[in-house]
Amino acid sequence: MNKTAHPADIAARNQVEAAKSFSVHLRRGPDFKINEPAATLAEAITIADRLSKEHANKTPLIYAITPENFTVLVPKDMITSARK
């Protein structure tokens, strides 16, 4: 069975590809969260890997920041393909 992508998912992917910057977010508790900016997706992945190692292998979220200053969660499969 061939699964087609939802139009909203396609639009989100297009926004990630056109992002002006990225933000790496890790929440460790109600009062402890880390947000680090990144210029590129590759840089954001490097930051996320470092934060994951520093904080007991918790997985940070990576957000794309669009030219309109909206944030879009970067899908895991886009992160995986960017690692290659």
Q: Answer yes or no: are the C-beta atoms of 45 and 26 closer than 8 Å.
A: no
pLDDT of amino acid 28: 85
pLDDT of amino acid 2: 54
Closest CA to 67 of 23, 10, 25, 15: 15
Average pLDDT over residues 69-74: 95
With a cut of 60, say whether residue 1 has pLDDT above it.
Answer: no
Residue type, 28: R
d(CA 6, CA 51): 32
Q: Answer yes or no: are the C-beta atoms of 15 and 66 closer than 8 Å.
A: yes
Per-residue pLDDT of 4-51, as tens digits, reads: 888 888 888 999 999 999 999 999 888 989 999 999 999 999 999 999
pLDDT of amino acid 6: 87
